[in-house]
Amino acid sequence: MAPRHYTSVLDLSREETLHILKQAAKLKAKWNSKQKISKRLRGVTLATIYEKPSLRTRVTFEAGMTQLGGHSIYLGPNDIQIGKREPAADIARNLSRWVEIIMTRSFAHTTVTELAENSSIPVINGLSDLEHPCQALADFLTIQERFGELRGLKLVYIGDGNNVAHSLMLMGALLGVNVVVATPEGYEPQSAIIERAQELAAQSGATVSVTWEAQAAVQDADVIYTDVWASMGQESEAEARKSVFASYQVTPELMALSGKPATIFMHCLPAHRGEEVAAEVIDGPQSAVIDEAENRLHVQKALILWLLGK
């Protein structure tokens, strides 16, 4: 049988996504009750490929494998030099003979898809320039924990229409969450992603929209989400982006415009206080960023178990 991969939010149906979230909640409850080590993945090895540095992705995948009784191997940028020393296809074919599952944190989404197309074992997208699906799973688990029900909530993403925005739009639409992306002109999400998210939203009874007006967007928001203005690989644009995005900072005043005291703030981290978010917000009582980061651990464990059929 061909392996199941998780290269995109769209690789799972609504029912499968909800199943992963349900299983992640159970795994988290076990972790919190001090049932820390399982034997479900005894003898199983995860190979992790990193083109970009990481705190949350590396620690949560490695710790998650340990907690499930398995093992993780770290392959850094200088270890295999994917696409330079040898092509992704050859790497996938070799790893398929040695380990049971692969995770890659890559610059180009084509690297992720090339690995998956040539692998006989599951491949997980730990981040690419197009999507960040594991982050979206953690985000919606966090939102579900806070509000109980996902359908009908309003999530507003403020900032660059990047990989995080793409995955939030797609998963929100899939799960019946209304998603608004507020971004400067010229920095909108990819049109193909917007169109696909709107198609999914029409099926789930939700809405997905893009605007340049951040203050209007956040009215009635249950969740206000942001990310850095310049992602890894865009360092040369960082200074120019500061002026373009200056009016898109998430401040206490912007949070208040939701009109809902229960509105939460989210960020995939790392964050630049004083740029995309004010310190008073990210370090304040409405912030859910640490819960969100913790939940990367649990959703990834659930995802790995599902992909391996364990």
| Residue among 268, 286, 298, 300 flagged as catalytic | 268
Q: Which residue has the tokens 């996902």?
A: 150
Count of other CB atoms within 10 angstroms of residue 131 = 27
Task: Given the residues 105, 109, 166, 196, select the one marked as catalytic.
Answer: 105
Per-residue pLDDT, 141: 98
- Whether 300 is catalytic: no
> What residues have CB less than 8 Å from 142, skipping those under 6 apart?
266, 288, 291, 292, 295
Domains and CATH numbers, the chain: 9-132+296-308 (3.40.50.1370), 134-292 (3.40.50.1370)
Q: How many helices (H) and strands (E) are present in the chain, helices listed first?
A: 13, 9
By three-state DSSP, how is residue 173 classified?
A: helix
pLDDT tens digits, one per residue of 92-107: 999 999 999 999 999 9
Q: Give the per-residue pLDDT at 233.
A: 66
The verdict on whether 105 is a catalytic residue reads yes
Q: What are phi and psi of 300, to 5 degrees?
A: -70, -35
Catalytic one of 227, 241, 267, 298: 227
Catalytic: which of 67, 135, 249, 286? 135
Active site residue 268: yes
User: Is-contact 271 261, C-beta < 8 A?
Assistant: no
Ranges of the chain whose pLDDT falls below 50: none
Could you confirm whether 23 is annotated as catalytic?
A: no
pLDDT for res 153: 98
pLDDT of residue 232: 66
